[in-house]
């Protein structure tokens, strides 16, 4: 489609570079530092450029870039860790399903950050994609290469875990935690 090199480059710049700010923010939160994030985003764009011949114009460039970024990040981590990358979607966060903790009445930005940092990475990534960067469930499913149902259930767990962590550190959260325990008991009684 973009046969002439400069046309191909112009098309790439037009479609992809507009997403640098949000990818950079996302990568900074993912990596926990700006310097590593800048390297990750640059590598993402180089990878995207190398495979741009396969990108179909009119499809979702944003989700495509997130997908490359997440794979690049995973590949770098695996390289560092020298061990296979394990994708276990269901092992963690089971308690978030059992205990539906209401949101505390009062919380600070710092408490939110602490609670977020305590989430397992798979949930943190998805909460970042959808609740912070505003990707739709479909875009997040594309970016993570998982079915949309997996996105929904994992998001549900991630948000539940976030509320639980927030309630755990909020001083007036006893009422909420008790409600959660009651709900858990009710569910167990039904099953």
Query: Applying CB under 8 A, which of residues 15, 104, 139, 157 lies at the interface with other proteins?
Result: 104
Distance CA 65, CA 20 (A): 10
Query: Does position 102 bind other proteins by CB under 8 A?
Result: yes
**In whole angstroms, how close is the CB of 92 to other proteins at the nearest point?**
18
Query: Applying CB under 8 A, which of residues 5, 58, 88, 188 lies at the interface with other proteins?
Result: 5
Query: Does position 188 bind other proteins by CB under 8 A?
Result: no
**Residue 10 neighbours by CB distance under 10 Å:** 12
Near other proteins in 39-68, by CB under 8 A: 41-42, 45-51, 53-54, 59, 64, 67-68
Query: Applying CB under 8 A, which of residues 2, 100, 153, 181 lies at the interface with other proteins?
Result: 100
CB neighbour list of residue 15: distance below 8 Å, 6 or more residues apart? 55, 57, 61
Total chain residues near other proteins (CB under 8 A): 72
Query: Does position 123 bind other proteins by CB under 8 A?
Result: no
Matching residue, tokens 């480059």: 9
Near other proteins in 129-148, by CB under 8 A: 130-132, 136-137, 141-142, 145-147
Query: Does position 75 bind other proteins by CB under 8 A?
Result: yes
């Amino acid at each position: 489609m973009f046969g002439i090199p400069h046309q191909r480059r112009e098309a790439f710049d037009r479609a992809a570079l507009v997403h640098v700010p949000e990818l950079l923010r996302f990568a900074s939160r993912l990596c926990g530092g700006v310097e590593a994030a800048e390297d990750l985003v640059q590598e993402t764009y180089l990878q995207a450029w190398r495979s741009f011949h396969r990108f179909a114009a009119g499809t979702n460039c944003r989700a495509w870039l997130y997908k490359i970024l997440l794979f690049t990040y995973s590949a770098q981590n695996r390289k560092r860790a020298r061990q296979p990358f394990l994708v276990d979607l269901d092992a963690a966060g089971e308690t978030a399903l059992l205990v539906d903790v209401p949101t505390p009445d009062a919380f600070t930005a710092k408490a939110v950050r602490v609670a977020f940092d305590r989430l397992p990475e798979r949930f943190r990534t998805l909460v970042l994609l959808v609740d912070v960067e505003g990707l739709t469930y479909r875009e997040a499913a594309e970016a993570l290469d998982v079915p949309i149902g997996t996105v929904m259930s994992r998001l549900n767990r991630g948000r539940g875990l976030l509320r639980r962590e927030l309630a755990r550190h909020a001083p007036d959260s006893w009422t909420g935690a008790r409600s959660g325990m009651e709900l858990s008991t009710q569910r167990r009684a039904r099953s």
